[in-house]
Amino acid sequence: MLNIVIFGAPGSGKGTQSERIVEKYGLDHISTGDVLRAEIAAGTELGNTAKGLIDHGQLIPDELMIEILAAKLDKLAGGKGVIFDGFPRTIAQAEALKTLLNGRGEDVTAMIELDVPEEELMDRLLKRGQLSGRADDNEETIKKRLVVYREQTSPLKEWYKNDGKHCYINGSGELDRIFADIVAAIDSKI
Ligand code: AP5
Ligand code: MG
């Protein structure tokens, strides 16, 4: 089983590169952002809770997020593996993921960090905001998302270095070059 964490700031290309990784390795894709947006679109209670937080660039509380992730993972028994996109975002989530996978006799295979300068992230997300209609793709919310990433999520780089799983990728430039670097990193961990 291949368990890949795709990691990076808002707009770093997690979703874009996940599609290619899914195609090459035949993995299931869990994007926690997509899960939450589907709940919002369906008008569920979870969706209502999530909307207020996402619109302000804040994280959904760990306990709730871990419960959602565990439920998604349970539904995916028997595949070739999973790409985790947007999860974990805190140390508590990383520890929970490790426990969940270890409980199945598995572990994270590789953590792929896509590194992109903040000015470029802002440009990409403002551009996407004009097309996507994502409520959090506006300048004020993007700034908050970047602060949350810096303060709460970026410490996971060290956490995964200590766990021997961290792979650094320069996330700026051509999509094909970035993907080739990701494939080389994954293959070096298999
Ligand atoms: P989430 O949906 O995960 O959003 P995000 O992390 O802010 O990242 P994005 O989806 O905006 O960007 P991406 O890295 O996928 O980049 P993409 O490929 O789209 O989370 C949203 C919210 O949900 C969070 O803020 C939080 O509130 C909540 N949430 C989610 N998970 C949570 C968790 N685990 N715990 C708590 N709360 C959680 O690319 C971006 C743009 O750039 C696209 O237009 C793309 O075409 C373009 N692009 C991609 N690559 C390149 C390139 N190489 N060159 C030029 N342009 C590029
Ligand atoms: Mg995404």
Helix, strand, coil shares, percent, the chain, to 5: 60, 15, 30
Mean pLDDT (whole number) for 110-116: 98
Write out pLDDT tens, residues 115-164: 999 999 999 999 999 997 898 999 999 999 999 999 999 999 999 999 99
Query: For residue 106, what are the contacts with CB-CB under 8 A and spacing of at least 6?
Result: 1, 3
Mean pLDDT (whole number) for 11-22: 98
Cis check: omega of the bond before 88, within 30 degrees of 0: yes
Count of domains observed in the chain: 1
Atom of ligand 1 nearest to the CA of 127: 44
Note residues around ion ligand 2 (Cβ under 5 angstroms): 14-15
Per-residue pLDDT at 52 exceeds 90: yes
- Residues serving a catalytic function are 14, 89, 128, 134, 145
Distance of CA 38 from the midpoint of ligand 1 (Å):
15
Atom of ligand 1 nearest to the CA of 175: 53
CATH number at residue 17: 3.40.50.300
Per-residue pLDDT at 77 exceeds 90: no
For ligand 1, say whether the CB of 146 is within 6 Å of any of its atoms. Answer: no
The best mutation among 60, 141, 152 to test binding of ligand 1, ranked by most ligand atoms within 8 Å of the C-beta, falls on: 60
For ligand 1, say whether the CB of 165 is within 6 Å of any of its atoms. Answer: no
Kindly state the tokens that stand for 168.
């650094």
DSSP reduced 3-state for 113: strand
CA-to-CA separations, 73 to 31, 46, 76, 180, in angstroms, rounded: 11, 18, 5, 27
Identify the bridge partners of residue 4 per DSSP, sorted by sequence position: 83, 110
> What proportion of the chain, given as a percentage, has pLDDT over 90?
95
- d(CA 146, CA 132) in angstroms, rounded, equals 19
Query: What is the per-residue pLDDT for 127?
Result: 96
- The boundaries of the domain holding residue 6 are 2-189
pLDDT, the chain, mean:
97
* pTM beyond 0.85, yes or no: yes
Query: What is the per-residue pLDDT for 78?
Result: 79
For ligand 1, say whether the CB of 167 is within 6 Å of any of its atoms. Answer: no
Confidence of residue 172 (pLDDT cuts 50, 70, 90): very high
Per-residue pLDDT at 80 exceeds 80: yes
